Each structure stands twice: as C-alpha cells, then as structure tokens.
Amino acid sequence: MEVLIENILIYAVVLIFCAVVVIIYLRKQKRESKAVEQKIAQAKEEGLHEPVSLHPVVNVNRCIKTGACITACPEKDILGIRNGKATTINASRCVGHGACFHACPTEAITLCIGTEERGVELPHVDKNFQTNVPGIYIAGELGGMGLIKNAVEQGKQAVENMLKAIKMGHNADYDLVIVGAGPAGISGSLTAKKLGLKFVTLEQDTLGGTVFTFPRSKIVMTSAMELPLHGKVSLQETSKSELLNLWHEVLGKNEIEVREKTKVEQIIPEDGIFIVKTSQGDEISTRRILLSIGRRGTPRKLNVPGEESEKVAYRLLEPEEISGKDILVVGGGDSAIESALLLADQNKVTLSYRREKFSRLKSKNQQKISEAIEQGRVDIKFETNVSEIKSQEVLLTNGKPDEPIRLRNDLVYIFAGGELPTQFLEKSGIRITKKFGEALLKH
C-alpha cells in the first residue's frame, strides 16, 4: 500500500511538473506572439508590412515553428513567430536573398513577387527564360530575381537552354549577344565560353552591373553559388570589392572581354536574326540575345538646372578617397543612407529627402542614420527638393519658392532610383505583365 501511494505521489509530481512546463511554454509563446503582433502593428503604421518586391510567403499548414527561417535571415524582423507559426513582419524590407526559403526544413516558404492587391511589372518569360519574342531571353534582376546566387544560376540555365535552338551555320556575327555584365550576364558569358559559342558581352556601365554601384562596404552575397568554369564560390558574407575581384579573375582566366560603356539602344529582328544597335554606333548581328540588365535601368534624374555638372554623380565609388568636402546626398532609400554614412566620417554631409520621414529602410540603416543625425554627423533636410545646382552651392526648396535653402557644396550624389527600361523592352517586342503574388521560387 505504501509503495502504491509512493508511486501515485511520484506520478502526481511528474504530472504537476509537466503541467508547469507546459504553462510556462504557453505563456512564453503568448508573450512572443504578442511581441510579434506589436511589431506587425508598428510595421503597418509605418507602411512597412506590405511587400514591394520578392518576399517570403509562409504555408502555415507546413510550418512547424523551427525558427530556422528567422535565424537564416540576415535582415532584422522580416519574419517572426506568431501563434506557433512563422509570419512576415516588415515584408517591404525584404531584399529577396532567399535564405529563409533554403533554411526551412519543411519547405513551408515560397518566394513570391507582388501581392493580390499590388502588382509588380515584369517582362514575360517562360520556364526556359525565353520571352514572348523567340530568341530573346531574360535572366536575373530584370526578371524579378535579384538574388546573386539565383541570378548566376539563371544566366547559366538560360544559355544552356538557348543552345538547343541555335542553328549552326547562320550568317550572323555572333551566336549570342549578352546585354549586361551583372551576376546573370557574367554567368551567361562563362557558360557561353564553356559551350563554345561565339558571343560578345555588352555593358552600358562597368563590369558588375548593379553590384558595382553598391557602396564598397556593402555585403552583397549571403550564400554559396556555383560559378561556371570556376566551381563553387563560398564567400558567404562578402564585400562588393571581393566579389568584383573574383569576377575579374575568372573572366580574365577564361579570356572573356566585356565591352564596357556600351549601351544597347535598339534590338531589331531581321530575317531570323537580330540587329543590335549600340551607343557606340555599332550594328551587331546575332542569332540569340540574353538580357541580363537591372530593373532600374538608367538612373532617374532630377531634371534641374546644373545637373549636368561634373560634380554630380548617381553612384558612390571609393568613398574613402573623398575628404574635406561639402556634400549633398539626395534620396531617402538604403543606397542614399548608406552613402551618406560612408561619406560622413571625412566630410560635411547634408541629406535632402522629399518626404517628411524615412520609410522602408533596413532596420540597421534606420538605426545608424538616426544616430548620425542625433550626433550631428549628418544634417537632414526633410521635405526638400533640389531646385538648382551651381558651381559652389546647391539650392533646395521646402515649399517656399521665394526662400530657397542655400548650401555650400562641392559634390552632389543623387539616389532617386531608376526607371524600368519598359520602353526599350516594348520597342523590342517584349510583353510586360503585372505579377500579383506569383511564385518565382517554390519547392
């Protein structure tokens, strides 16, 4: 009898202990869910909850709350756990690197473009990366895939797919013209070399494309990738300069030359081939075309007097070489903020932004710029626009046209975004469609 009572007591203690553990766990989960709900509410209030580009969508029926997606994400508060399931918080801050997609052990995450309410314009491409114009292919950022790793893979696959359709013995100058020397274009060039195609790579700016315009210290890759004719690249968290050095090395080793400062002005179909007209006055004939240009296309200009001055730039190169200058940075996005912070250590920096406050900044950038403003390292001019750029000063308007703000100035950096090369694509016959929550990467 005593043994029975003793066993009952032991079972009772165990049950009580288990109940206490469950209660503590449930309370902890409730606190975490409440914290995430508060973050979502704040994100909605700040206009950061709705995605603007590629973003994760969670299948709650598959999610088992491992938290792997949250741990893998290099950004902060993009994803969180609410009621035992993963959910998006600041979706508009997602940079679309896909780390969450690859980390999820239950394949509960899909990467989508646009939402049911807000569409994103993208050129039409099929599963082989071919557009509605037979012979013209698109890979990388222009097709909605800004991830470096995936852009590299798309460039490789697009060239492999088009090889099947290239008829040998044609009368064109080249088998393939690659437009753009960013991640997809470089991968496509290496693949074309590997497959023995006669090709040329054209870049309107400089090798690296959009990556080249990043500030030097910006991390541009967060996972390993497979580079044709080179093998696996495991730089993980790397800088722009490291990645560009790698590309220069690989292209040089394989004797691939990129024609820089050569913008493609027009693509004309002619008797089963294409005539590519460039800003250099060249007319190049080719059997196939790979468009691997960025979505931003040409930098958006302010169209104000003096903007053609040599002291105006639309990207920041070698910030450590600039010191003792009065600098105006125009814009309120991550590129503008990062550039202003890089310049602030050795220069007097003023930041002009047309809105009353920042929105859709990465959390780290929001924190850093707030600290810089509070410390007086950056002078912020909210609700202002540049009205004129002069040799030694810049004029800003703030709603009072008769009272412009005059700033002594040596350099102006404009980060007003860029324009999707819609007109160029449509002139080439490529159809543009709006994607409303369509999956671009799924298991």
Domain ranges, ordered by start, for the chain: 2-113, 121-297+421-441, 304-418
pLDDT (mean) for 419-442 = 83
Q: Tell me, what's the pLDDT at 171?
A: 85
What pLDDT is attached to residue 429?
A: 92
Q: Which residue has the tokens 């470089």?
A: 186
- Tell me what pLDDT residue 9 has: 75
Judged on CB neighbours under 10 Å (0-12, 13-18, 19+), 161 is middle
Buried b / exposed e over 71-99, threshold 16 CB at 10 Å, is ebbebebbbbbbeebbbbbbbbbbbbbbb
Tell which wins on pLDDT, 288 or 361.
Answer: 288
Q: Which of 9-23, 25-39, 205-219 has the lowest mean pLDDT?
A: 205-219
What pLDDT does residue 200 have?
A: 97
- Mean pLDDT is highest, among 45-54, 384-393, 425-434, for 384-393
User: Which of 162-166, 350-354, 384-388 has the lowest average pLDDT?
Assistant: 162-166
Say whether 304-418 and 121-297+421-441 share the same fold: yes
User: What are the E-state strand segments in 355-426?
Assistant: 378-382, 385-389, 393-397, 405-408, 411-414, 418-419
Pick the range with the lowest mean pLDDT from 78-82, 281-285, 314-318, 391-395: 314-318
What is the CATH architecture assignment of 304-418? 3-Layer(bba) Sandwich (3.50)
38: phi then psi, degrees, rounded to nearest 5: -65, -40
Contact 160, 127 (CB under 8 A): no
Please write down the HEC assignment for all residues of 226-256. Answer: EECCCEEECCCCCEHHHHHHHHHHHHHHCCC
Distance separating the N- and C-terminal Cα atoms of the chain: 60
Could you tell me the pLDDT band of residue 339, with boundaries at 50, 70 and 90?
A: very high
Q: What is the pLDDT of residue 212?
A: 61
Q: Give the pLDDT of residue 347.
A: 96
* Phi-psi map region of 297: left, alpha, beta (phi>0 left; psi -120 to 50 alpha): left
When the pLDDT of each residue in the chain is averaged and rounded to a whole number, the result is 85
65 pLDDT more than 70: yes
pLDDT tens across 380-410, in order? Answer: 999 999 999 999 999 999 876 667 899 999 9
340 and 369 Cβ atoms separated by less than 8 Å:
yes
Q: Report the distance separating Cα 131 and Cα 128, nearest Å.
A: 9
Q: How far apart are CA 188 and CA 199, in angstroms?
A: 10
3-state helix, strand, coil in the chain (%, to 5): 30, 25, 40
CATH number of 121-297+421-441: 3.50.50.60
pLDDT tens-digit profile of 132-151? 999 999 998 787 766 677 88
Q: What is the mean pLDDT of residues 341-357?
A: 94
Residues 6+ apart with CB under 8 A from 274: 135, 136, 172, 177, 267, 268, 285, 286, 287, 288, 289
From CA 104, how far away is CA 109, in angstroms rounded? 7
Architecture category of domain 2-113 in CATH: 2-Layer Sandwich (3.30)
More reliable by pLDDT, 314 or 218: 314
| Rounded percentage of the chain residues whose pLDDT exceeds 90 | 44
Distance CA 81, CA 65 (A): 7
Higher pLDDT, 399 or 35: 35
DSSP assignment of 266-303 equals: EEEEETTEEEEEETTS-EEEEEEEEE---SSBEEPP--
In this model, does residue 338 exceed pLDDT 60? yes
